[in-house]
Structure 1
Amino acid sequence: MNSRSTHPDVLVIGGGATGTGLARDLALRGVDVTLAERDGLSAGASGRSHGLLHSGARYAESDPEGARECLEENRILRDIGGACVRETRGLFVQLAEDDPDYFEAKRAACEDVGISVDVIGGETARDAVPGLSDEVERAMWVPDAVVVPSRLVAANAAAARDRGADILPHAPVTDMTVDDGRIASVSLGGDAGRTIEPTYVVNATGAHAGRTAAMAGVTVPMRPTRGVMVSVDYDGLEPVLNRCRDPADGDIVVPHEDEAVLGTTSVPVDDPDDYERADWEVERTIEECATILPAATEAERIRTWWGVRPLYEPEEDARGGRGISRGFHLLDHAADGSDESSPPALGSDGVDNFASIVGGKLTTYRRMAEATADLVCERLGVDAESTTATTELPGASEPSTLDEYVREFDGQGPTDADLVGAGR
């Protein structure tokens, strides 16, 4: 890895999907980038998710625009991601106790958005998915898939590095100096152990965005929530299973060849580094997922982990609850800046060379990165368009190469610990 520039054009803070996606996008446009992450790539939400590549069906009736974004990015990532994506399809299932009107509303909304659906009866669904609950009355196929996030993040980092970016996976930001309305310098600890003077700084630290922004005297209100994932021994599940009801605890099962990941819960946390891991979350998740896949109750538990969602407080207040599609917010902290993706929420912060990217979903990371890169290039006077939607990720066709990138950047997350290194 490079470790040379002390005056990069851009410092990206945060080594998840959005941060590495931004580094890739900028590097492909010829911008000199340094990326700093404190704990190895994928250490945050990206590497601690359930790994679902949304088709948009989950949000079709509540947020059609967000659903279209998911559908478009789903197709793009399948084209550029190779072995970063597992082609599985998805199945939304209606149990006997579930509201049939909700199923019909989702089907109609998916068709309006352009998401392909195929409605099948319960018996046909059980033939397609052995072990599916006898309580399934009908189901619909949708083009969901599964992301291998450790590979995805590492491949984006490798693409940036190959274009000259400086990728620092163990370089926590320890201090920022603001002078005359600009970030003048940023001190990096860990393996980096140096101070750099970037022209522009982007905060892509997920649930930690508020803390990172505070170093520059900026307020970014976050409302993180935790969610548990439980991986159980379950061989041969093909599609992602979604229970077709209002989003709630334990309504998604994600296939991992000889394991199945059960998720999830949503509980507010005060500190994204220090929070309770409650047994009731595990038990509720298993119990609820077993309504779809009964054998999950007795299956051997292989791994359990929690992730913390990087939710933006003003949007949570405005939308009022779980299950609503969470968009992303690009916050320009310049004196004349604003929230680039929604009506202004924070006012003028007065730090001219600083932006934060918050919210969003793993599925839309590339779109988030592109929007942020557009803003950065405008500020830097760089006249170049994004090419990330049509440029294949390095190593995409070679799982072993992708896994080498994961090791190089210390990017292994718990979501795909059973897949990375196994050549799958």
Structure 2
Amino acid sequence: MTTDPTVLVVGGGATGAGVARDLALRDVDVMLVDRDGLASGTSGRSHGLLHSGARYAEADLESAEECLAENRILKDIAGACIRDTGGLFVRLAEDNEDYFERKMAACNAAGIEVQRLDGDEAREQVAGLSDDVVEAFRVPDRVVYPSRLVAANAADAEAHGAAVRPHTPVTDVTVSNERIDSVELGGDVDGTVRPEIVVNAAGAWAGQLAEMAGATVGMAPSRGVMVAVEYDDLEPVLNRCREPDDGDIIVPHEGEVVLGTTSVPVDDPDEYDRPDWEVERSVSECAAMLPSVADARTVRTWWGVRPLYAPDEAGSDRRGISRGFTVIDHADEGVSGLVSVVGGKLTTYRRMAEVTADRVCAGLGIDATCETATRRLPAVDDTERLDELVGQYGGANPTDSSTVGTTTAVDE
């Protein structure tokens, strides 16, 4: 048994930790729970790119602008949770020249600073870049260490009164008179809480949590593989400048690069195939940009599941689903007190949390403004302390286990 919080946030990834921090800074009594360690779901199983917005610029201008704004905010508030590497979008001889031009024009329209390079200039900046690269442009991509980012958010939430409980799964939700009545928690808490509002920040598992309460969230999860290989010489993120496809991104981490990724629909974010062809295709496609990665030693391989939200989406191709986010109040379904935040990206977690916290505070009649865009995260200038926090909340995850001192990551 534990003290009843005003708000229970379910899901300890970046968005859930961000919501807990935002609410705690507004003096809301909040509890954050996750069934495993923090960042153990999608957040800690990505390739670790902090988007500049360029990836989405020609297809979704609003998402691109949102990524750029949040990228800049995190540069100011997140310290050692991110690394300023820059990024290149490269066009190979076989890639569509018109798409390259559209991408550059869309970046300009979104306010994303770009610098055009010919193939030789690109190879001067990136040792080992393929001779097939005919042109490229620079963008302000960065690398993010999600284990650190989530831990810093959780620590700030706790410092302002929140209860943070990893290893605490939700086992049941009771609804009475069309309102959330109670939530059963297992694991380290093993008790019942009666919050006024439940925030469903469970990512790819949001549909399962909503179903416990008799509500519906139209998730369309998609798996993708990441392959970390030994590699010391890459600084900028490499993006293949073509229509989104398998193996079109290489993200530099310390002493290695992460090659990715694929996009295959899954029905269950816990139970899905992990076939060798996805690994092989990602490596071979990435090697078209940076040939030596094909022979580099594999350090670890893992899959992540994207928390795509597409209630009206039909068909099997989920690459075209918007990476924007949605906040849903389930009162219209007869489940008052349940708010779901779905979709989105790691890059935009802070904005997702702000919009969600605004909605929650409005429901509670609380007049308090968001501080997270300007308030620096704790311990972000002290990597040793950051990594202690990561260990406290469950350990590092596959994305950043080469950098973060405490690790629980395993190959799959």
The alignment's TM-score, normalised by the length of structure 1, stands at: 0.94
Aligned length: 407
Q: What runs of 5+ residues in structure 2 fail to find an aligned partner? A: 407-412
User: Which residue matches 1:161?
Assistant: 158
Q: Quick one: distance in 2 between partners of 1:64 and 1:208?
A: 27
User: Which residue matches 1:208?
Assistant: 205
User: Which residue matches 1:302?
Assistant: 299
Classify the secondary structure of the residue corresponding to 2:78: helix
Q: What is the aligned counterpart of 1:403 among 383, 387, 394?
A: 387
What does the per-residue CA deviation read over 1:295-321, in whole Å, with 9 as the maximum and x for residues that have no partner? 011000001000001111226449974
Contact kept? 2:25, 2:157, Cα under 8 Å? yes
The runs of at least 4 consecutive aligned structure 1 residues that moved more than 6 Å come to: none
Shift of 1:7: 1.7
Shift of 1:257: 2.5
What does the per-residue CA deviation read over 1:238-269, in whole Å, with 9 as the maximum and x for residues that have no partner? 00000000000000000012100000000011
User: Which residue matches 1:82?
Assistant: 79
Classify the secondary structure of the residue corresponding to 1:371: helix
Which residue identity does 1:248 align to in structure 2?
Answer: D
- Does residue 69 of structure 1 match 2:66? yes
Classify the secondary structure of the residue corresponding to 1:313: coil
Q: 1:420 to 1:369 in 2, by over 3 A?
A: same
Q: Quick one: distance in 2 between partners of 1:191 and 1:239?
A: 41
- Does residue 357 of structure 1 match 2:341? yes
Which residue identity does 2:389 align to in structure 1?
Answer: Y
Q: Quick one: distance in 1 between partners of 2:211 and 2:255?
A: 44
Question: Alignment identity in percent?
Answer: 64
- Does residue 187 of structure 1 match 2:184? yes
- Does residue 371 of structure 1 match 2:355? yes
Q: Quick one: distance in 1 between partners of 2:179 and 2:32?
A: 19
User: Which residue matches 2:409?
Assistant: none
Q: How does 1:118-267 map to 2 (within 5 A)?
A: 118-267=115-264
Q: Quick one: distance in 2 between partners of 1:114 and 1:321?
A: 27
Classify the secondary structure of the residue corresponding to 2:284: helix
Which residue identity does 1:187 align to in structure 2?
Answer: E
Which residue identity does 2:21 align to in structure 1?
Answer: R
Contact kept? 1:10, 1:34, Cα under 8 Å? yes
Q: How does 1:36-51 map to 2 (within 5 A)?
A: 36-51=33-48
Q: What runs of 5+ residues in structure 1 fail to find an aligned partner? A: 335-347
Q: Quick one: distance in 1 between partners of 2:253 and 2:269?
A: 27
What does the per-residue CA deviation read over 1:175-223, in whole Å, with 9 as the maximum and x for residues that have no partner? 1111111111111000111111111101110111111001111011211
- Does residue 382 of structure 1 match 2:379? no
Shift of 1:55: 0.3
Q: Quick one: distance in 2 between partners of 1:142 and 1:315?
A: 33
Shift of 1:411: 3.9
Q: 1:181 to 1:267 in 2, by over 3 A?
A: same
Shift of 1:236: 2.2
Contact kept? 1:5, 1:166, Cα under 8 Å? no
Q: How does 1:1-12 map to 2 (within 5 A)?
A: 5-12=2-9
What does the per-residue CA deviation read over 1:46-72, in whole Å, with 9 as the maximum and x for residues that have no partner? 000001000000111111111000000
What does the per-residue CA deviation read over 1:114-158, in whole Å, with 9 as the maximum and x for residues that have no partner? 000000111111111001000000100000000000000010000
User: Which residue matches 1:31?
Assistant: 28
Q: Quick one: distance in 2 between partners of 1:315 and 1:398?
A: 45
